């Protein structure tokens, strides 16, 4: 009888200890949540991913998809460098990121000189997100030369320069990940968006991304793209409700949904040369 009683006592002691540990963990978690509620910019260091302290450079980081990606990455402990031509929005976006040691750089991604300066200042970028983009809502025959030049310089040339110059640093470091934010319109086109569609198709969908993935892959650098559909940002603010809700899900996507995909691409080390479509089924049609 005694051995049986001993086993029972041991089991009781085990479950009592387990209960105490769970209670302590619950109290700790609640205290962390309360502290984060008091200070929204606080990052929970216990929840950091393997990307903690990595450096991420995000163009178009002042608003929309770029800002959402910066928020998502900063929550995981990354140090973000936000790039934009909108100074006020850029500073506001950077100041709102959780954690510390984030930086903002004002400039035009379509200028090679600007990228050269970024490459010299930030030689250890682990993740490059090319998210800067200018939209279009004019028929081709009514699109001015200035508008064509601006769209191509930002959406296409800016991406090429970023991949070339920051990519060169990554080649030296033998590590890195590049994420090109494209558009479903680069795959299927749309009336009134001919130049925009061309800039996205040439720079950020299959061909360019796959070519770089093959060039950089042997050095441990992955290159992927994300092709969002209609996402609820300023870029589609003037679209009709029918167009905004033209996907199979009958709603526009959110910037956080694109940001989650970007985080997945950044952390999955076997995704390379792929363009992930996030369009609610718009490309079905």
- Tens-digit pLDDT profile for residues 214-240: 999 999 999 999 988 888 776 655 665
Under a CB-based contact definition with an 8 Å cutoff, are residues 187 and 283 in contact? yes
Tens-place pLDDT, residues 151-199: 889 889 999 999 999 999 999 999 999 999 987 766 665 666 677 777 7
Looking at residue 47, what is its pLDDT?
Answer: 46
- This prediction has a pTM of 0.78
Tens-place pLDDT, residues 111-160: 999 999 999 999 999 999 999 887 767 788 888 898 988 888 988 999 99
Q: Token match 């770089």: residue?
A: 212
How many other C-beta atoms can be found within 10 angstroms of the C-beta atom of residue 224? 23
Please state, in angstroms and rounded to a whole number, the distance separating the CA atoms of residues 189 and 168.
Answer: 32
Looking at residue 39, what is its pLDDT?
Answer: 55
Tens-place pLDDT, residues 192-220: 667 777 777 755 556 889 999 999 999 99
pLDDT band at 45 (very low <50, low <70, confident <90, very high): very low
Domain 47-284 has CATH 2.60.40.10: no
63 CB-near residues (< 8 Å, 6+ apart)? 84, 86, 89, 93, 233, 234
Looking at residue 18, what is its pLDDT?
Answer: 43
Evaluate if residue 23 carries a pLDDT over 90: no
Active site residues: 196
């Amino acid at each position: 009888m005694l051995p049986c009683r001993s086993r029972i006592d041991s089991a009781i002691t085990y479950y009592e200890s387990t209960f105490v540990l769970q209670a302590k963990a619950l109290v700790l978690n609640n205290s962390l949540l309360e502290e984060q509620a008091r200070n929204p910019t606080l990052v929970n260091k216990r929840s950091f991913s393997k990307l903690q302290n990595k450096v991420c450079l995000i163009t178009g980081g002042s608003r929309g998809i770029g800002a959402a990606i910066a928020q998502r990455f900063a929550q995981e402990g990354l140090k973000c460098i936000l790039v934009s031509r909108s100074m006020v929005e850029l500073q506001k976006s950077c100041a709102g990121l959780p954690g510390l040691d984030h930086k903002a750089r004002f400039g035009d991604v379509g200028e090679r000189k600007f990228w050269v300066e970024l490459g010299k200042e930030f030689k250890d970028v682990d993740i490059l997100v090319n998210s800067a983009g200018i939209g279009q809502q004019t028929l081709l025959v009514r699109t001015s030369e200035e508008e064509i030049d601006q769209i191509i310089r930002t959406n296409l040339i800016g991406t090429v320069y970023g991949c070339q110059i920051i990519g060169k640093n990554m080649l030296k470091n033998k590590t890195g990940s590049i994420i090109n934010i494209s558009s479903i319109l680069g795959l299927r086109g749309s009336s009134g968006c001919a130049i925009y569609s061309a800039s996205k198709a040439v720079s950020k969908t299959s061909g360019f991304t796959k070519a770089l993935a093959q060039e950089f892959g042997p050095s441990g650098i992955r290159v992927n793209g994300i092709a969002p559909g209609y996402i609820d940002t300023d870029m589609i603010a003037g679209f009709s409700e029918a167009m905004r809700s033209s996907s199979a899900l009958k709603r526009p996507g959110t910037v956080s949904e694109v940001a989650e995909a970007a985080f997945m691409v950044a952390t999955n080390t076997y995704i390379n040369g792929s363009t992930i479509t996030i369009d609610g089924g718009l490309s079905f049609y």
